Amino acid sequence: MTAVLPRTIRAVDTKQLLLMEEEAARLGFSQRLPADWLQKHADAESVHYLFPAMEHRLSHRPEVSPQWRCELLLTVRTGEEVLSLLDVLPATFQGLPETLDATAKADIAARMKRAITVREWPLSSPRHR
């Protein structure tokens, strides 16, 4: 049986995020960023945030089901925050430490709602390169 989808936000550094993106690629998850794009654009010193938004089940791939589709608030090298999605295994998400208090989580959730998507970002700022 699957754990209940947590209603929390977890912080990850860029190195952890790259490992999670690589795991998603290795497992063939559909919602992820290419690792080379992430290495080029993610701010190496920033913290990024994951929020499990929904459980995603694949009846044709039970070995990787369920997945948790997370909203990802990513800080790029220009300092801007952009929104993406990342599919993660429940055990991977649950292995991340709980480091944020309720006030920080509320602030991050509000920033997620205001953030432009990773697809919109190149169009919104000449600084994206």
Helix (H, G, I), strand (E, B) or coil at 42: strand
User: pLDDT, tens digit, for every residue of 11-68?
Assistant: 999 999 999 999 999 998 888 998 899 999 999 999 999 999 999 887 788 787 899 9
pLDDT surpassing 90 at residue 112: yes
9-23: buried (b, 16+ CB within 10 Å) or exposed (e) per residue? bbbbebebbbebbeb
Cα 19 to Cα 12, 15, 23, 35, 90, distances in angstroms: 10, 6, 6, 9, 15
DSSP β-bridge partners for residue 87:
69
Burial class for 103, CB neighbours closer than 10 Å (0-12, 13-18, 19+):
exposed
Span of 3-7, 23-27, 87-91, 109-113 with lowest mean pLDDT: 3-7
Report the pLDDT value the prediction gives residue 1, as an integer from 0 to 100. Answer: 45
Percent of the chain's residues with pLDDT above 90:
73
